[in-house]
Structure 1
Amino acid sequence: MRKRFLLMPLVAALTGIALPAPASAIVGGTRTTQPQPFVVSLQTASGGHICGGALIKANWVVTAKHCGTPAQVRIGSLNRTSGGTVARVARTVAHPVADLELLQLATAVTHAPIPIAGDSGPAGTPVVMFGWGKTCPNGSCTEPTALNQLSSTIVDGSRCAGGRDRLSGEICVDNKDNSGPCAGDSGNPLTKNVAGARQLIGVHSRAGGFPCGAAPSSHADVPDDRTWIIQHTGG
């Protein structure tokens, strides 16, 4: 939905959000304990974590455009260093305007993709983000190997303006009590619950400020670009 307005994505490795579980993570989040087969770690050829992403088809991943071109992805594991399936990235398709990018995998995977929601929802909609980003506000700590999550809510787009130019097609997410995405969280899936199941509404584009969690974060609105996604992935 292009109702909410947000800032221009910057080339910063920040992203993530999710549900509740034990242990601190993401910056104020918690460790994910339930399987999330659609969550993706974008990686270097040696397995180093770059960004997050979401599996939307057996051979397609959506992430943030500023994450660039990873060599491979790991899908279907709560640990970014082991388990799940590692697949090579065959090609990328960058959105002409939004901070969105599609990754076509060299081989299809068997993990269940996440459906894209019909719309992202109005302010007040509960959301959950997932990711492997840094858990300390100043970014000085190492990124966790275990997947983390953070529950939050959508807020009015003006909360994310930050005095910069604003773009349509983005989602502004509240970050209370200094919690929110940090370095390594770019591209992470933003989800909402629809009839008891997770659906994708966004990917993390940029944090609201420094230290991490100091202000609401902005996320590219995936349902808003459904037509573009279908055009390149085949529906």
Structure 2
Amino acid sequence: MSDFIRDFFINYSDLYSVILMSMFVSLTSTFIASLAGLALGIPTALNEFKCKKAILRIANTLMSLPPVLMGLIVYMLLSRRGPLGSLSLLFTPTAMIIAQTLLVLPIIFSLTVSTISKAGREVEKTCISLGAGKFDTFLTIMKECRIQLLSIITSGFGRAVSEVGAVMMVGGNIKGFTRVMTTYIALETGKGNFNEAIFIGIVLLGISFMVNSILFKFREGE
């Protein structure tokens, strides 16, 4: 088995760039979406304001938005005739990061609001009774709910790393530049090269397993 894997990577050395690009795009988009989702989600969960229900409805709707539709929206924004066409971002890793970030953000935001609405209010009351400021309260809530929030971020990463339609539309699946694991699987399956597609699928499954194993270790530590 080890000889097969070694020979496979020697014969298909281009897979290194595919795996690295997939991890770079997915981790970057998840990081950006997590920062924005947590920063917006925690205050939204702890405060009541006029448009809160409407915002939550929109976020919940965007959670189930078809990826190809998001890809179309980003494509139109970044195309030459689009408002951001002058930036020449279409068919680049940056365009893929933008698309994935917009797909992951509603997930992290909505799940954060749901989680903090239940678990964060008691922490907030305790912090207020002890005279803590808003920023200290924010940090304390994140600390106390870190396992739940980590699970949310993991869910966002799972959505990002498994994405096909949007990244193919805005990235173009260009060999050595914007090709990622999911688009590689789709391409090789269409060509009938099932061995290559299955191998990358196993790598993708292994990455998901490692991420969930890390999360499980954190839970055990609690």
Asked if TM exceeds 0.5, the reply is no
Provide TM-score, normalisation by structure 2. Answer: 0.25
Q: Which has the larger radius of gyration?
A: 2
Query: Comparing both structures, which one devotes a greater share of its residues to strand?
Result: 1
